Amino acid sequence: MRRGWVAVAAATMVVLTACSSGGGSASSAQTVNSDASKVSGTITVLTNRTDQLGDGTLDKYAAAFTKIYPNVKVKFEGMKDYEGEVKIRMNTENYGDVLPIPSDLSIAQFPNFFSPLGDAAELSKQYQWTDYSTVGGKVYGIANYGTVTGFVYNKKVWADAGVTEWPKTPEEFVTDLKAIKAKGQATPYYTNYHDGWPLRQWTDAIGSPSCNPAAKDAMASTATPWTGGNDIFTIDSLLYSAVHEKLTEDDPTTTNWDNSKSLLATGKIGSMYLGSWSISQMRDAATKAGASPDDIGYMPFPSTSGKPCTVLQPDYKYAINKHSKNQEAARAWVDWFINKSGAAQNEQGISSVKGTELPGALKPFTEKGVQMIGQNQEKLATVKKIDKGAEINLDAPDYRQKLVDIARGAAAGDQNSYFAELNKKWSASQKTVG
Amino acid sequence: MTALQRDRGTGTPPAQTAATGGARATDAATGASAPTTRRRASRRKGVRRHWWFTPWLYLLVPLVLLVTFTYLPIGDMIGYSFSDWDGISPEKNNVGLKNYTDLFTRPELFKVFLVSGVYLLAAVVQICLALYFATVLSFNTKFRNLFKGILFFPYLINGVAIGFVFLYFFQPHGTLDSLLELVGIHGKFLWTGDPDLVNKSLAGVSVWRYTGLNLVLFLGAVQSIPPHLYEAAALDGANRWQQFRHIIAPSIKPVISLSAILAVSGSLAVFEIPYIMTGGANGSQTFVIQSINMAFKFDKFGLASASAVVLLAMILLVTWIQRRLVPEERVELS
A182 and A112 within one domain: no
A299 and A151 within one domain: yes
**Distance between CA A188 and CA A377 in Å, rounded?**
34
Q: Do A87 and B92 touch (CB under 8 A)?
A: no
- Write phi, then psi, for B131 (nearest 5 degrees): -60, -45
Among A5, A93, A253, which would you mutate to test the B interface (most chain B Cβ atoms within 10 Å of its Cβ)? Answer: A253
**Would you call A219 exposed, middle or buried from its count of C-beta atoms within 10 A (0-12, 13-18, 19+)?**
buried
Q: Which of A391, A393, A410 sits opposite B282 (nearest CB)?
A: A410
pLDDT digits (tens, 9 = 90+) for B118-172: 999 999 999 999 999 999 998 878 888 899 999 999 999 998 899 889 988 988 8
Q: Which of A9-23, B43-57, B102-116 has the lowest mean pLDDT?
A: A9-23
- Percentage of chain A beyond pLDDT 90 is 52
Q: Do A91 and B88 touch (CB under 8 A)?
A: yes
A92 and A130 within one domain: yes
Whether chain A has a CB inside 8 Å of the CB on B195: the answer is yes
b (16+ CB within 10 A) / e for B147-176 = ebeebeebbeeeeeebbeebbebbbbebeb
pLDDT tier, A8 (very low <50, low <70, confident <90, very high otherwise): very low
A327 and A304 within one domain: no
Assess if residue A293 is contained within a domain: yes
pLDDT tier, A263 (very low <50, low <70, confident <90, very high otherwise): very high
A258 and A168 within one domain: yes
Torsion angle defined by CA atoms of residues A41, A44, A49 and A53, in that order, rounded to the nearest 10 degrees: 70
pLDDT of residue B4: 39
Q: Do A251 and B282 touch (CB under 8 A)?
A: no
Count of C-beta atoms within a 10 Å radius of residue B45: 12
For residue A290, give its domain range: 147-313+368-373
Assess if residue A343 is contained within a domain: yes
Residues 7-66 of B with CB under 8 A from A: none
Q: Do A405 and B170 touch (CB under 8 A)?
A: no
What pairing do the DSSP bridges indicate for beta strands A309-314 and A371-373?
Answer: parallel
Note whether A169 and A113 are within 8 A (CB). Answer: no
Residues 120-159 of B with CB under 8 A from A: none
**Distance between CA B15 and CA A430 in Å, rounded?**
80
pLDDT digits (tens, 9 = 90+) for A108-137: 889 999 999 999 999 999 998 898 899 889
From the list A108, A104, A102, the residue with the least C-alpha distance to A381 is A108
* Element spanning B289, H or E: helix B287-296
Note whether B167 and B191 are within 8 A (CB). Answer: no
**Distance between CA A300 and CA A168 in Å, rounded?**
9
CA A340 to chain B, closest CA, distance in angstroms equals 33
A151 and A140 within one domain: no
Residue A71 pLDDT greater than 50, yes or no: yes
Residue A6 pLDDT greater than 60, yes or no: no
A114 and A225 within one domain: no
Cα-based distances in Å from A43 to A39, A115, A338: 12, 15, 16
Q: Using a CB-CB distance cutoff of 8 angstroms, which residues of chain A are in contact with residue B198?
A: 253
Among B164, B167, B297, B300, which would you mutate to test the A interface (most chain A Cβ atoms within 10 Å of its Cβ)? Answer: B297
pLDDT of residue B17: 40
Assess if residue A388 is contained within a domain: no
Mean pLDDT within A396-417 = 91
Assess if residue A407 is contained within a domain: no
Report DSSP letters for B159-222, one per residue: HHHHHHHHHHHTSTTSHHHHHHHHTT------TTTSTTTHHHHHHHHHHHHHHHHHHHHHHHHH
pLDDT of residue B333: 65
- Percentage of chain A beyond pLDDT 70 is 94
- Percentage of chain B beyond pLDDT 70 is 83
b (16+ CB within 10 A) / e for B108-134 = ebeebeebbebbbebbeebbebbbebb
pLDDT of residue B48: 60
Who contacts B237 (Cβ-Cβ below 8 Å, separation ≥6)?
none
A334 and A302 within one domain: no
Q: Which of B172, B279, B300 sits opposite A196 (nearest CB)?
A: B279
A353 and A307 within one domain: no
Note whether B94 and A8 are within 8 A (CB). Answer: yes
**Distance between CA A410 and CA B282 in Å, rounded?**
7
pLDDT of residue A270: 94
**Distance between CA B214 and CA B209 in Å, rounded?**
10
Q: Do B282 and A105 touch (CB under 8 A)?
A: no
Task: Give the residue with greater pLDDT, B324 vs B204.
Answer: B204
pLDDT of residue B332: 67
Whether chain A has a CB inside 8 Å of the CB on B92: the answer is yes
Mean pLDDT within A286-298 = 89
From the list A310, A293, A292, A288, the residue with the least C-alpha distance to A301 is A310
Q: Do B195 and A411 touch (CB under 8 A)?
A: yes
Assess if residue A48 is contained within a domain: yes
CA B155 to chain A, closest CA, distance in angstroms equals 24
**Distance between CA A378 and CA A409 in Å, rounded?**
39
Query: Hey, what amino acid is at A347?
Result: E
pLDDT digits (tens, 9 = 90+) for A215-225: 999 999 999 99
* Element spanning A188, H or E: strand A187-189
pLDDT of residue B7: 41
Q: Which of A193, A393, A411 sits opposite B298 (nearest CB)?
A: A393
**Distance between CA A422 and CA A219 in Å, rounded?**
13
Whether chain A has a CB inside 8 Å of the CB on B79: the answer is no
Count of C-beta atoms within a 10 Å radius of residue B103: 19
Q: Which of A18-22, A309-313, B72-76 has the lowest mean pLDDT?
A: A18-22
Report DSSP letters for B107-161, one per residue: GGGTTTHHHHHHHHHHHHHHHHHHHHHHHHHHS--TTHHHHHHHHHHHHHS-HHH
Note whether A116 and A320 are within 8 A (CB). Answer: no
**Distance between CA B75 and CA B205 in Å, rounded?**
34
* Element spanning A296, H or E: strand A296-299
Question: Helix H segments across A143-230?
Answer: 155-160, 170-183, 197-200, 215-218
pLDDT of residue A1: 37
Mean pLDDT within B244-262 = 89
pLDDT of residue A220: 92
pLDDT tier, A63 (very low <50, low <70, confident <90, very high otherwise): very high
Residue B15 pLDDT greater than 70, yes or no: no
Bridge partners (DSSP) of residue A312 are A148
Mean pLDDT within B312-320 = 90
pLDDT of residue B254: 86
Among B190, B200, B285, which would you mutate to test the A interface (most chain A Cβ atoms within 10 Å of its Cβ)? Answer: B190
From the list A246, A251, A289, A237, the residue with the least C-alpha distance to A414 is A237
Who contacts B202 (Cβ-Cβ below 8 Å, separation ≥6)?
B192, B273, B274, B277, B278, B284
From the list B138, B161, B251, the residue with the least C-alpha distance to B208 is B161
- Write phi, then psi, for B284 (nearest 5 degrees): -105, 15
ipTM summary value:
0.76
A65 and A19 within one domain: yes
- Write phi, then psi, for A43 (nearest 5 degrees): -115, 145
Note whether B53 and A52 are within 8 A (CB). Answer: no
Q: Look at residue A29 and give its three-state secondary structure.
A: coil
Q: Do A398 and B298 touch (CB under 8 A)?
A: no
Q: Do B195 and A398 touch (CB under 8 A)?
A: no
For chain A, the distance separating the N- and C-terminal CA atoms, rounded to the nearest angstrom, is 28
**Would you call B19 exposed, middle or buried from its count of C-beta atoms within 10 A (0-12, 13-18, 19+)?**
exposed
**Distance between CA A8 and CA A177 in Å, rounded?**
57
Residue B255 pLDDT greater than 70, yes or no: yes
Residue B31 pLDDT greater than 80, yes or no: no
Q: Which of A178-182, A354-358, B221-225 has the lowest mean pLDDT?
A: A354-358
Report DSSP letters for B219-286, one per residue: HHHHHTS-HHHHHHHHHTT--HHHHIIIIIHHHTHHHHHHHHHHHHHHHHT--HHHHHHTTTTTTT--
Which CATH number covers residue A284? 3.40.190.10
Residue A11 pLDDT greater than 70, yes or no: no
Counted across chains A and B, CB pairs separated by less than 8 A come out at 92
From the list B135, B130, B114, B143, the residue with the least C-alpha distance to B230 is B135
Assess if residue A127 is contained within a domain: yes
Note whether B40 and B8 are within 8 A (CB). Answer: no
Most confident region among A76-85, A146-155, B43-52 by mean pLDDT: A146-155
Cα-based distances in Å from A316 to A3, A143, A191: 43, 6, 24
Residue B1 pLDDT greater than 50, yes or no: no
Q: Which of A196, A251, A402 sits opposite B190 (nearest CB)?
A: A251
**Distance between CA B179 and CA B296 in Å, rounded?**
39
Assess if residue A174 is contained within a domain: yes
pLDDT digits (tens, 9 = 90+) for A138-163: 999 999 999 888 999 999 999 999 98
Residue A3 pLDDT greater than 50, yes or no: no
**Distance between CA A236 and CA A404 in Å, rounded?**
10
Mean predicted lDDT score pLDDT of chain A = 87
A309 and A169 within one domain: yes
pLDDT digits (tens, 9 = 90+) for A19-51: 433 333 444 778 888 788 888 999 999 998 887
Name the residue in chain B with its Cα closest to that of A406.
Answer: B282
Whether chain A has a CB inside 8 Å of the CB on B294: the answer is yes
Q: Which of A81-90, A231-240, A328-337 has the lowest mean pLDDT?
A: A81-90
Q: Which of A280-284, B23-27, B92-96, B244-248 has the lowest mean pLDDT?
A: B23-27
Among B85, B299, B300, which would you mutate to test the A interface (most chain A Cβ atoms within 10 Å of its Cβ)? Answer: B299
Mean predicted lDDT score pLDDT of chain B = 82
In eight-state DSSP terms, residue A92 is: S
**Would you call B320 exposed, middle or buried from its count of C-beta atoms within 10 A (0-12, 13-18, 19+)?**
exposed
Half-sphere exposure at residue B5, Cβ-oriented, CA atoms within 13 angstroms: 2
pLDDT tier, A355 (very low <50, low <70, confident <90, very high otherwise): confident
Q: Which of B93, B198, B296 sits opposite A11 (nearest CB)?
A: B93
Mean pLDDT within B98-103 = 91
Order of strands, edge to edge, in the sheet holding A138-139? A118-119, A138-139, A134-135
A187 and A119 within one domain: no
Assess if residue A400 is contained within a domain: no
Q: Per the structure, how many domains does chain A have?
A: 2
